[in-house]
A and B are shown apart, each in its own frame.
Chain A
């Protein structure tokens, strides 16, 4: 952990907690938290039920663990492919220039502006709550590649003129070799920061859709947990543990992810600063 800034440390600790909660704990679970009426309803937190039980007789803690797993999966899946597509599209635009650049830039600008939520709402309404998480993730990939693409394009443009790229070009390396050997290591930190940020955006968008009951109702995500809690009047019934758990989880997870992404950016900025001096 040495050499990391405090933002990155805090963020990584938070992420580690959520990876335990969503990535490891579900394997030790003895129950499927999606089953209803397994436990007495609306229990307060106890040793047996760490976060109490829901109005539907689910264990809130295990439900949260299960929901975290799904949300993290969506986030990572979307971020991986969106970043991958974005980085390559952006680099292609920046290095090739000309018509490919114009087309990619225009497409990116267009996809940034088109609001994704109405389209997701339309799709979900047609599927009546049976939209699979995979389908939602694919749509999210479509709408999340433009940010890294724009960023990478400007990086590529500025790097195209730099010395080491020219050296490589004069020494006869092909465009692809330049991309793979010189540029990719150079931009890795940007891609990482963007990756983490996209995880955040993807989870946020899916949860947003889920909160209004338009994501997959057959699966549990942090957003659908909130939806069921709202549907069963957790607010009026003041069952704060039920509605509070996913809300707090989202807040803490997002702050953690955000700290990681800004932490990575400032870390690479520091490194570059030292390198130049």
Chain B
């Protein structure tokens, strides 16, 4: 029962996250001081495109539809929710007409997901391993040094790390390419190797920052868990250091770290968006940015909606995996 209740709560939260996120996206343009359709039109025209009067009218209609501005407010709102939860059809891209937005997002999403998945997993595992050592062996000099490094790395935002990496490894030492360019047929050896080569720096900047956080939080956790009664009793049992560190301290300290990972996905995603833009990495972030620059409103709504859904889904997945680690939720 406990477990069923847990799942139901999570799923409700999941739907709520998407609903609230989408509602904010829906209401923001409506509370803007300027009419989004007119300002978008002005922007398209000022970018130098010539349009005849009927074309302007057609564009206005397209934009009105894209913004979901047809009909009364409730109609608009339910149309919007319908599109988000059921059809997920965002229409054609305006800048790459007539390619459907869904197709463009379909191309970008795997890049973002693989970048985030790899870098988050690497930094989570690495940071927790080092944080565990730093907390459990807090008297070691290397533990303290690592902690100081983590203190200096953690508060630095992703894009600053990204900029420093760009300055160091693209401009001062040109080890990595200035522009993101993947060569070869999809999934050929050349494709994969050049994709990895191009992704090293963006991934590194996400790994570095996350790493600092995981080290610091894991250190604090394992330090306090080392003082729990069951760790003391494990020593009285005669368990070895390694065994205490893994079976007792790690097994318990990892639980809050899984929860925090779920809560951090949104923040990590925010960071990854900007990192992608700075490295012109071909994922959702860069696509969102291009959509803004080219006033491609359909694409923008699509990427933002998918971003919210992707973050909510990753959070839900981690939340649902949590009982694998914590028997207190699994069994009651």
Contacts and interface: CB of A to CB of B under 8 A. Distances in A.
Contact of B13 (A106, A118, A211, A257): A106
Interface string A231-248: 000011010100100010
Contacts, number: 138
Interface in A195-244: 200, 204-205, 207-208, 211-212, 214, 226, 235-236, 238, 240, 243
A29 B322 CA distance: 55
B278 interface: yes
A113 interface: yes
B155 A118 contact: no
A255 B155 contact: yes
A133 to B, nearest CB: 15
Interface in B3-39: 12-13, 16-17, 20-21, 24-25, 28-29, 32-34, 36, 39
Interface stretch (A48-56, A68-76, A122-130, A179-187): A122-130
Size range of the chain B interface in the assembly = 35 or more
Interface in B268-305: 269-271, 273-274, 277-278, 288-289, 291-292, 295, 300-301, 303-304
B171 A122 contact: no
A268 interface: no
Given A114-B21, A118-B307, A121-B292, A226 B163 contact: yes
Interface string B215-238: 000000000000000000000000
B157 A208 contact: yes
A254 interface: yes
A22 to B, nearest CB: 18
Nearest to A238: B171
Tell me if B's interface is mostly helix, strand, loop or mixed: helix
A208 B274 contact: yes
A117 B270 contact: yes
Given A106-B13, A123-B32, A247-B164, A114 B266 contact: yes
Nearest to A102: B9
A19 interface: no
B151 A122 contact: no
A255 B151 contact: yes
B96 interface: no
Interface of B: 12-13, 16-17, 20-21, 24-25, 28-29, 32-34, 36, 39-40, 43, 151-152, 154-160, 163-164, 166-167, 171, 263, 265-267, 269-271, 273-274, 277-278, 288-289, 291-292, 295, 300-301, 303-304, 307-308, 311-312, 315
18 contacts: A106-B13, A109-B263, A112-B266, A113-B13, A113-B265, A114-B20, A114-B266, A115-B308, A116-B270, A117-B273, A118-B273, A121-B288, A122-B28, A123-B32, A125-B291, A125-B295, A208-B159, A211-B159
